[in-house]
Amino acid sequence: MRILPRSVEKLIEALEKLPGIGPKSARRLTFYLLHVPQIQLDEFGQSLINLKKNTVYCSKCFNIGEEDPCVICASPDRDESLICVVEQPIDILSVERTGKYHGVYHVLHGAINPLNNIGPDEIKIAELVKRVQNSEIKELILATNFNMEGEATAMYIKREIEDHKGQYANKSNLIISRLAHGLPVGGDLEYADEITLGRSLVGRNSF
């Protein structure tokens, strides 16, 4: 016998698929939404519908934005000779909150993870190598997460860039740096506070 209406069950099932949301949380959220005024539900639903319709990936850095190029790549105030490599677009928000960085970014959209069948070809490493080859880059900051996947990704990128350095014009003085270990090992940029991440940027080392 079905106790809950099918519409309620379907929403619970949909919420359970979200990261960090278990069955209990999904049920609580669903019953909370049942008590929200319909106009708020309509606005919430419309926001979900527009989430992908009104966003695009930047063709230069692969960040998300409303236009291509994104606001960071289009800004004349950013130093294009400095590229910070991050795993996800949300990591850009973390770095920007520090107020210590004024370069541009490159979003990999993941990290090398053989256990999940994610290799270098599944993320934006080839695009990064090509970008370095075709641009006047002075420093590449590898800001991948300090876990096994992030470290493996940083090492792979460093090796790829250095293996092709001789083919790049004016790249002999290119600096490849890694965020200083002010960040906890095993931690994600998303959860780092501004002070810790700011010190990591300022105290970054050659890699």
pLDDT at 96: 95
Give me the number of domains the chain comprises. 2
pLDDT at 62: 97
> Residue 40 corresponds to which tokens in the numbers above?
């708020």
Residue 74 reports pLDDT greater than 70: yes
Residues 95 and 46 in one domain: no
Residues 40 and 129 in one domain: no
pLDDT at 103: 96
Q: Is 132 within the bounds of a domain?
A: yes
HSE on the CB side for 171, CA within 13 Å?
A: 20
Residue 192 pLDDT level (bands cut at 50, 70, 90): confident
Residues 115 and 159 in one domain: yes
Residue 172 pLDDT level (bands cut at 50, 70, 90): low
Q: Give SS3 for 93.
A: helix
What is the model's pTM?
0.81
Domain CATH code at residue 135: 3.40.1360.10
Q: Give SS3 for 108.
A: coil
Q: Is 65 within the bounds of a domain?
A: no
Mean pLDDT of the chain: 89
Q: Is 60 within the bounds of a domain?
A: no
Residue written as token pair 């770095």: 95
Contacts of 76 (CB under 8 A, 6+ apart): none
Going by C-alpha positions, the residue among 117, 96, 58, 84 that lies closest to residue 190 is: 96
Residue 18 pLDDT level (bands cut at 50, 70, 90): very high
Residues 14 and 99 in one domain: no
HSE on the CB side for 162, CA within 13 Å?
A: 10
Across the strands, what pairs with 206?
Answer: 177
Cα 85 to Cα 105: distance, rounded to the nearest angstrom: 6
Residue 160 reports pLDDT greater than 80: yes
Q: Is 134 within the bounds of a domain?
A: yes
Q: Is 160 within the bounds of a domain?
A: yes
Q: Could you list the residue range(s) of the whole structural domain that residue 19 is in?
A: 6-52
Higher pLDDT, 148 or 199: 148
Per-residue pLDDT averaged across 19-34, rounded?
A: 94
Q: Is 12 within the bounds of a domain?
A: yes
Q: Is 21 within the bounds of a domain?
A: yes
Q: In the chain, what percentage of residues exceed pLDDT 70? A: 93
Residue 91 reports pLDDT greater than 80: yes
Q: Is 68 within the bounds of a domain?
A: no
Higher pLDDT, 58 or 195: 58
